[in-house]
Amino acid sequence: MIKDYDILKTKLVIWDLDETLWDGVLTEGGGKFRPEILSFVEDLVTKGIMNSICSKNDFDRVREEFFGLGYQKFWDYFIFPSINWMPKGERVKNIIENMNLRAENVIFIDDNPANINEVKFYLPQIMTATPEQVPKMIEELYLVNEYDFEHTRLKQYKLLEKKAVAKGESSNEEFLRSSGIKICIKNDCLENIERIKKLISRTNQLNFTKFRDENIEETIKNTDSAYIIAEDKFGNYGICGFYSLDKKENKLIHFLFSCRIMNMGIEQFVYSHLGKPKLEISGEVASSLNGLVPDWIEVVDNLELKEPVKPIKNDINILFKGPCDLYSVLSYINAECNIDTEFPYWNKDLVYVLAHTHTAFIEQTHRFSPEKLAELTKRFPFPNPDEFKTRFFDKKYNLIFLSLLTVTHSGLYINKNDGSYAFFGYANCDITDENNWEIILQTLPEWAKEQNIIMLREFKRDYVFAGNPPIDTIIKNLRYIKENTSADIVLILGSEIHTDKILAGYENMAERHRLLNEAVRKEFKDEFEFIELTDFIKNDEDYVECINHFSRRVYSDLAQRIISIANKKLKQKLGLKICLSNP
């Protein structure tokens, strides 16, 4: 075994975890700490040599492993730990750069030769070792004739780590400042009434009043109304916002924005620009109007209102299916092929159509006949007939990007008789459990509760709760989808990094994502390609409102990954050079 390290010139040791710092694999039942390794880590710190971690694991679970087993002291010995599912080469390079060190003064220890080779590719001068060489390294530590009993050097690096985190927290704002965001506010609403009607009917996450106005023309005539066009260096977003202000009452009747511009700060800016009039917010909104007013947005007199780009007529077709915040991703993508989207929307009956993005509904839309699907919509207020409209199984698609964010927070139920699915509420509130009925019905008037209890009893008789999250069901759905789809499918997996930003129904989502992702990776590792949203989260500022809504930088980075995967797959399959690119 070749020795590729020199303890005398070492300033930092970067540790792998599974089968290196501890015995075993954490995701397969937990690791057993190696006391001699932990003691060595402490001795290194006493000698003034720092320690870090670069592991493919879940950050929160690793931290809990240290704390739960009484090893918090040793956790504190590690600085700039990098624990996620991204490749290690870039991450090791970032750790060293953050510490202002040189690769030739760093030892990287890993049991996987592929990881060592990858890191060597990025950092040819780095020293490396395998776990089998650690005992020899422990023996040689006596050669370092330097001591830091007060751990002064560790404290200095901890301060450097804290500064780096603080700097990282401003990354999204810096990204927005560099984006060159411009808006114009125009009052000729009646000339663009059809676009405004569509915006009102489809917008939910950034619709503050949720007023589905059937007399919108009259509202426009009798109020101060305007639409907003937005543009940045990535492209033009078209009509992306609308408001109606009753000047007599100084109250907003409409105040809404498209998901395409989520997290750009435009809604906060416009609200301040209007003088912060009265606004009765209805339901949940994926944005707050409180806090500082964005100063990175420029108001201009006019922006071109571009006509929607007509699909390019060629034989390449890509489908994006999932939550509507994927609109934000498409803002960063130019297509030299046909792109279709299936996102949530408000239908003509003002019902919010969301369930069709769930794997269970994708599956049953194909599995059942149209007559059977129509039958499923008649007994209860859900599902809506529009939930069964999809082009997912159309043979024209070469590539499908499917987000699994819906499946981890939505309430899914299985019919005991025919295996069909119903979708209602959130996964953390089982409506077949009578203990939850009081919570479910609390907003209803007394006269309506009895009728709804009768309905809930009927539903409970026929349906069983699929779980939180319904892992076995989702695996079954995906297996069916794989066997009945000719397109290559890329799954977008939810972030496993915890945040305290929580909306109702999104509690404990990091753990739910982890459980589902782990099962999906294991079952389909050779059949689907995965995009891990965990890879794009640098700090808590990358979350907006909850774990499933992200900063613009995250959407931009996600778009880059999508572009890379799409072009690679289409080149392999069809010999094409490029189908997707940046604007």
Number of domains into which the chain is organized: 3
Structure token digits, residue 95 = 């750790």
Q: Is 421 helix (H, G, I), strand (E, B) or coil?
A: strand
Q: Are residues 69 and 158 in the same domain?
A: yes
For position 95, what pLDDT does the model report?
Answer: 93
* pTM over 0.75, yes/no: no
pLDDT tens string 67-110:
887 888 899 999 999 999 888 998 999 999 888 788 999 999 99
Residue 576 has pLDDT above 70, yes or no: no
Report the alpha-carbon distance of residue 205 to residue 225 in Å, rounded: 21
For position 170, what pLDDT does the model report?
Answer: 47
Q: Is there a contact between 429 and 505 (Cβ–Cβ < 8 Å)?
A: yes
Residue 1 has pLDDT above 70, yes or no: no
Residue 36 has pLDDT above 60, yes or no: yes
Whether 51 is covered by a domain: the verdict is: yes
Structure-model confidence comparison of residues 399 and 286, the more confident one: 399
β-partners of residue 581 are 334
Q: Are residues 487 and 349 in the same domain?
A: yes
Q: Whose structure tokens read 């010995």?
A: 77
Whether 139 is covered by a domain: the verdict is: yes
Q: Is there a contact between 161 and 154 (Cβ–Cβ < 8 Å)?
A: no
240-254, 259-273, 384-398, 565-579: the lowest-pLDDT one = 565-579
For position 168, what pLDDT does the model report?
Answer: 54
For position 337, what pLDDT does the model report?
Answer: 85
Q: Are residues 188 and 161 in the same domain?
A: no
Q: Are residues 154 and 183 in the same domain?
A: no
Whether 447 is covered by a domain: the verdict is: no
Q: Are residues 292 and 412 in the same domain?
A: no
Choose among 451, 530, 539: nearest CA to 490.
530
Q: Cis bond leading into 469, ω under 30°?
A: yes
pLDDT tens string 119-156:
998 899 999 999 999 998 998 888 887 788 888 788 87
Q: What percent of the chain has pLDDT over 90?
A: 60
Q: Is 322 helix (H, G, I), strand (E, B) or coil?
A: coil
Report the alpha-carbon distance of residue 183 to residue 303 in Å, rounded: 7
Report the alpha-carbon distance of residue 176 to residue 297 in Å, rounded: 9
How would DSSP label each residue in 472-503?
Answer: HHHHHHHHHHHHT--SEEEEEEPP-S--S---
Q: Are residues 157 and 52 in the same domain?
A: yes
Whether 287 is covered by a domain: the verdict is: yes
Per the structure, the complete domain to which residue 249 belongs is given by 179-299
67-71, 215-219, 405-409: the lowest-pLDDT one = 67-71
166-180, 384-398, 443-457, 566-580: the lowest-pLDDT one = 166-180
pLDDT tens string 342-363:
988 777 676 888 999 999 999 9
Mean pLDDT in the chain?
89
Whether 552 is covered by a domain: the verdict is: yes
pLDDT band at residue 191 using 50, 70 and 90 as cut-offs = very high
Structure-model confidence comparison of residues 203 and 508, the more confident one: 508
For position 309, what pLDDT does the model report?
Answer: 46
Return the HEC string of 195-225. HHHHHHHHCCCCECCCCCCCCHHHHHHHCEE
Q: Is 320 helix (H, G, I), strand (E, B) or coil?
A: strand
Residue 329 has pLDDT above 70, yes or no: yes
| Overall average pLDDT of the 160-182 stretch | 70
For position 20, what pLDDT does the model report?
Answer: 94
For position 139, what pLDDT does the model report?
Answer: 86
Q: Are residues 159 and 202 in the same domain?
A: no
For position 310, what pLDDT does the model report?
Answer: 47
Whether 500 is covered by a domain: the verdict is: yes
Residue 311 has pLDDT above 60, yes or no: no
Residue 546 has pLDDT above 50, yes or no: yes
Query: 532: left (phi > 0), else alpha (psi -120 to 50), else beta?
Result: beta
Q: Are residues 292 and 332 in the same domain?
A: no
Q: Are residues 146 and 216 in the same domain?
A: no
For position 219, what pLDDT does the model report?
Answer: 96
Q: Is 419 helix (H, G, I), strand (E, B) or coil?
A: coil
Q: Which of 142, 168, 194 lies at the terminal end of a domain, its last residue?
A: 168
Whether 461 is covered by a domain: the verdict is: no
For position 228, what pLDDT does the model report?
Answer: 97
225-239, 484-498, 562-576: the lowest-pLDDT one = 562-576
Residue 331 sits at the vertex; the CA angle it makes with 329 and 332, to the nearest 5 degrees, is 75
Q: Which of 236, 266, 299 lies at the terminal end of a domain, its last residue?
A: 299
What angle do the packed helices 471-483 and 509-524 form, to 10 degrees?
Answer: 40
Q: What percent of the chain has pLDDT over 70?
A: 95
Q: Are residues 288 and 357 in the same domain?
A: no
Structure-model confidence comparison of residues 166 and 11, the more confident one: 11
